C-alpha cells in the first residue's frame, strides 16, 4: 500500500468524521480527537526502529540494488516508515527472484 493511498484514506476518514461531528453537534471534540490521532500516527511512523530492526536491515543489505539504495537514502537513523518501505522492496525482489 502506497503512502499516497494511505494519506487519501486518512483524509477521507477525517472528512467523514468531521461531518459526523457536525451532525452530532460535537465539532470541537471531533476535531480535537482527529488532531490527536494524526499527531500520534505521524509520531509513531517517524520513530526510530529498535536495534533488532537494524540487524534485519543488515541481512537485507547487499542482495538487491534498489533495496541498498533505499537503505543508503534512509541514513543512519531509520524510521518505522522507512523500514517498511525497505522491507517491501526487498520482499518484492525476493519474490521475483524465486519465480525465475
- Look at the chain and report how many structural domains it folds into: 2
More confident residue, 100 or 66: 66
Domain of 79? 51-99
Amino acid 2: pLDDT: 61
Q: Which long-range contacts (C-beta less than 8 Å, at least 24 apart) are formed by 75-78?
A: 77/48, 78/48, 78/49, 78/53, 78/54
Residues 86 and 63 in one domain: yes
Within a 13 Å sphere around the CA of 15, how many CA atoms are in the beta-carbon half?
6
Residues 40 and 75 in one domain: no
Is 1's pLDDT higher than 60? no
Residues 40 and 74 in one domain: no
Query: pLDDT, tens digit, for every residue of 29-40?
Result: 888 888 888 888
List, in order, residues 6 or more apart from 70 with CB less than 8 Å away: 82, 85, 86, 89
Residues 68 and 82 in one domain: yes
Query: pLDDT, tens digit, for every residue of 59-86?
Result: 989 999 999 999 998 888 888 888 888 9
Residues 61 and 92 in one domain: yes
Residue 96: all three cell numbers together: 521475483
Amino acid at each position: 500500500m502506497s503512502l499516497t493511498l494511505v494519506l487519501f484514506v486518512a483524509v477521507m476518514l477525517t472528512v467523514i468524521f468531521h461531518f459526523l461531528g457536525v451532525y452530532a453537534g460535537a465539532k470541537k471534540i471531533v476535531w480535537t480527537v482527529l488532531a490527536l490521532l494524526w499527531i500520534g500516527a505521524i509520531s509513531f511512523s517517524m520513530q526510530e526502529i529498535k536495534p533488532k530492526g537494524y540487524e534485519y536491515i543488515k541481512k537485507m543489505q547487499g542482495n538487491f540494488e534498489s533495496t541498498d539504495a533505499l537503505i543508503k537514502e534512509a541514513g543512519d537513523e531509520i524510521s518505522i516508515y522507512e523500514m517498511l518501505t525497505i522491507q517491501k522492496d526487498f520482499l518484492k525482489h525476493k519474490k521475483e527472484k524465486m519465480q525465475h
